[in-house]
Amino acid sequence: MRDDDLARGLLDAMSEALYMVDRSRTIRYWNSAAEDLTGFAAADVIGHRCRDGILNHVDEDGNSLCGGGCPLLGTMRDGELREVLAYAHHRDGHRMPVAVKAAPLRDETGRIRGAVEVFHDDSRCRALAGQVADAEREALTDPLTGVGNRRMLERGLLRLGDDQSRYSRSFAVVFADIDRFKSVNDTFGHPAGDEVLKCVAGTLRDCTRPGDVVGRWGGEEFLLLAPVDDLAEARALAERVRRMVGSSWTEVDAQRVSITITISVGVAMSEDSESPAATVARADAAMLEAKAAGRNRTVVSKAASTEGGGVR
């Protein structure tokens, strides 16, 4: 058996699709797996240039890769291996996700004479990645309200605490508790209470800024984690969401009664001398002060350093 026949037999036995091009990007070889994956027979493509748009690779945004973004062209120019995720054109007309690897082909002197592209169907991997992302999203989302859950908030606190220790970026914890929530459940039933929780969560989510993190801490308690420069900015943000919630209401369908909603809010600024959990504890204590002072108000926690070094 001749060496080239042996090579062709090995390449045709590969499970991954493969084709080779010369310096002009003319396709010189197309293996059996490429035929099976794309629907194009070797006779359909050999002698044509890959830039003629047979596979017509595009990126995630639909931009063509057959021009300056071609991985084969790039690897022939600099001799570097390339890996890209793309969408190829099947002979039937549909787009299919493919994972592409391109490598240069060199002669015995080391001169680049062409390139080889190996590719495979990436739909299963992308589907699995999507399922993993969905599962993680579900694990970090409160199923009733749709905002983040306590686990997500704890991750956010760790990230903000790390940013503070590394880059001196301060943040605020805004601790909100729904006023007289038990009486809503007792008077109108738990379905009405669920609607109140969803109303507050939606208002907090939609009335905060990009970069703020909103989540349900537990029960009728919500946290807002906000990168801010100073306490005045934190208080203004807390007052804004308190007023927004105060202007909201939800309707109990059975009785056609509108329930007005208010929240009591505590605010604490992060400090270098305390953990994020301690900042949350100060915000919680400030929220309880707001409750004791008559509800539907905002109380700002004093700095930990002015409280005898402790945290309330």
State the CATH architecture for 140-306: 2-Layer Sandwich (3.30)
Q: Give Cα 257 distance to the centre of its chain.
A: 39
Would you call 184 exposed, middle or buried from its count of C-beta atoms within 10 A (0-12, 13-18, 19+)?
buried
Is the pLDDT assigned to residue 251 strictly greater than 60? yes
Tell me how far apart the alpha carbons of residues 176 and 225 are, in angstroms, rounded to a whole number: 11
Is the pLDDT assigned to residue 6 strictly greater than 60? yes
Closest CA to 176 of 250, 271, 241, 244: 241
Q: Compute the average pLDDT of residues 222-230.
A: 95
Tens digits of residue pLDDT in 89-145: 888 878 888 889 999 999 989 999 999 999 988 766 555 555 656 666 778 899 999
Is the pLDDT assigned to residue 208 strictly greater than 80? yes
Q: Which residue has the tokens 């908030």?
A: 153
The structural domains of the chain, with segments of one domain joined by +, span 3-127, 140-306
Signed CA dihedral, 302, 304, 310, 312: sign only: positive
* 3-127 and 140-306 share one fold: no
Q: Compute the average pLDDT of residues 224-245.
A: 94
Tell me how far apart the alpha carbons of residues 175 and 279 are, in angstroms, rounded to a whole number: 10
DSSP secondary structure code for residue 220 in this structure: T
231-246 helix and 190-206 helix, angle to the nearest 10 degrees: 140
Q: Residues 6 or more apart from 54 whose CB is under 8 A from it?
A: 27, 40, 44, 45, 48, 89
Tell me how far apart the alpha carbons of residues 38 and 89 are, in angstroms, rounded to a whole number: 7
| Other residues' Cβ atoms within 10 Å of the Cβ of residue 17 | 23
- The class that CATH gives domain 3-127 is alpha beta
Closest CA to 223 of 243, 201, 195: 201
Active site residues: 220
Whether pTM > 0.85 for this model: the answer is no
DSSP bridge pairs for 299: 266
Distance of CA 244 to CAs 76, 241, 281, Å? 59, 5, 24
What pLDDT, on a 0 to 100 scale, did the predictor assign at position 148? 92
Tell me how far apart the alpha carbons of residues 141 and 135 are, in angstroms, rounded to a whole number: 10
Helices first, then strands: H and E counts in the chain: 10, 12
